Amino acid sequence: MADKAAAGTEPARAVPRPWVVRRAARRTNLALLVLLVGAFGSGWLVFAAGGPTMATMATVVHGLFGVAVIAMLPWKSVIIRRSAGLQVASVLLLVIIVGCLLAGLVQLLVGYLVVAGITPIQVHIGAAVIAVPLLIWHVLRHRRQRLRPSDLSRRALVQDVALAAGVAAVWGGATAVAVRTRPDRPRASTGSRPVVPGPVAAVVLPATTWLFDTVPEVDLSTHHVTVVGGTVTVDELVAWAQPVTARLDCTNGWYADASWDAVRLSDLIGAAALDSAATLRVRSVTGYERAFPAVEAGWLWLAIGSRGAPLTPTHGAPVRLLAPGHRGFWWVKWVAAVELDDRPSWLQPPFPVQ
């Protein structure tokens, strides 16, 4: 635009606005595309990360991408205002991305809450998933945004570095605020907040389904678990169980430190069998399953109750898995079998599909 103004094709502004930092439209559009792809990808990493180090890295990167998307919006709004004939789908895309950002902000500052049956994370992910086809359409429909040498100039680079520093500062500020909001419900490294503070009985947890699984009808009087070919009855598990406190951290944005009565898997499976296997697979009566490296058997538990009371059907009665350090979707409910095999556990899909 600057060249055109100099050539006299655009009237000079009456008032110079030196505080308005100009940015070529193609640079804004390309940056936004890269940032949206990064935000989407890092969002899945937040879901996949269980341990504090990975979770912290993933949430930091995801948060930085989110703030960077917001930082582009003033420039994008200039592009939108100048464009002739807005497409309905493009406007929808904008609305969905803004909604996604707002829901992410609610999760950051408030955390898990249910309004009209849905949670901030459900809105956040739902919006992100709907945005994908719209964004692909939007990119294909518009002219290719080719960078020019001036976009890679020193000046442009300095602008981007300054912008990145600003994004980091805003992210730092937002995170500092998030530590102060709801101090009785501190954020975990995954971004989740306690659904109820303190160690609780399992019954108070929100009964949660990953995608389409349903609470099965299990005959509590005959149910048993097949453990590496052998049979373990519920009564045996009840007899051997010890109290354990473990954090269930659901990808829906909540966690709970709950008390369980449970038996360690490494106490049910012989050491020799565990040593020679790569993978330990835990399967539900519904077919839902998760595979773990066999070496984790010492940190995985079969729970039959909580604080002396049996599990309720929605929480996995009569037997469910505890997988501390793994997100909630690893905590297989209504366990039917525990099996060993030689295929590495990372061959399974990163997320359950039911």
Name the binder of 47 from Mo ion, ligand MTE, none, CB < 5-8 A by kind.
Answer: none
Binding mask 150-189 for ligand MTE (x = CB under 6 A): ----------------------------------------
Q: Dihedral of CA 316/247/288/272: which sign?
A: negative
Report, in Å, the least distance between residue 136 CB and ligand MTE: 28
Decide whether 195 or 250 has the Cβ nearer to Mo ion: 250
What are residue 226's DSSP bridge partners? 231, 337
Beta bridge partners of 245: 259
The nearest distance, CB 114 to ligand MTE, in angstroms, is: 14
178, two tokens: 């998030």
Distance of closest approach, residue 207 Cβ to Mo ion, in angstroms: 10
Among 112, 255, 301, 331, binds ligand MTE (CB under 6 A): 331
CA–CA distance, 21 with 159 (Å, rounded to integer): 9
Q: Which of residues 187-216 bind ligand MTE (CB under 6 A)?
A: 205-210, 213
Q: Does 218 help bind ligand MTE (rule: CB under 6 A)?
A: no
296 binds ligand MTE (CB under 6 A): no
Candidates 188-196, 200-208, 286-294, 333-341: pick the segment binding Mo ion (CB under 5 A). Answer: 200-208
Q: Which of residues 234-253 bind ligand MTE (CB under 6 A)?
A: 250
Look-up: residue for tokens 């502004």? 13
Q: Is 121 in the site for Mo ion (CB under 5 A)?
A: no
Q: How many residues does the chain have?
A: 354
Q: Which residues contact 173 (CB under 8 A, 6 or more apart)?
A: none
Cα–Cα distance measured from residue 232 to residue 227, given in angstroms and rounded to the nearest whole number: 7
Q: Please, which residues have CB within 8 angstroms of residue 295's CB and are 6 or more apart in sequence?
A: 274
Binding flag, residue 68, ligand MTE (CB under 6 A)? no
Q: Is 328 in the site for ligand MTE (CB under 6 A)?
A: yes
Give the one entry of Mo ion, ligand MTE, none that residue 119 binds, where binding means its C-beta sits below a cut-off of 5 to 8 angstroms depending on kind.
none
Q: Which does 286 bind (CB under 5 to 8 A by kind): Mo ion, ligand MTE, none?
A: ligand MTE
Asked if 159 is part of the footprint of Mo ion (rule: CB under 5 A), the reply reads no
Query: Under the criterion CB under 6 A, does residue 329 sit at the interface with ligand MTE?
Result: yes
96: its two tokens: 């969905």
Select the residue interacting with Mo ion from 192, 328, 331, 340 (CB under 5 A): 328
**Which amino acid type is present at position 180?**
R
If the CB atoms of residues 75 and 255 are measured against ligand MTE, the closer one turns out to be 255
**CB-nearest residue to ligand MTE:** 328
Strands 242-250, 254-264: pairing is antiparallel
Cα-based torsion angle of the residue sequence 109, 114, 118, 124 in order, rounded to the nearest 10 degrees: 10
> What tokens appear for 87 in the block?
């497409």
Closest alpha carbon to 247 in 299, 325, 334: 325
Distant-in-sequence, close-in-space partners of 304: CB < 8 Å, separation ≥ 6: 234, 237, 238, 241, 261, 262, 263, 310, 311, 318, 319
Smallest gap, in angstroms, from Cβ of residue 125 to ligand MTE? Answer: 13
Residues in contact with ligand MTE by the rule CB under 6 A: 205-210, 213, 250, 284, 286, 288, 314-316, 328-329, 331-334
Residues in contact with Mo ion by the rule CB under 5 A: 208, 250-251, 328
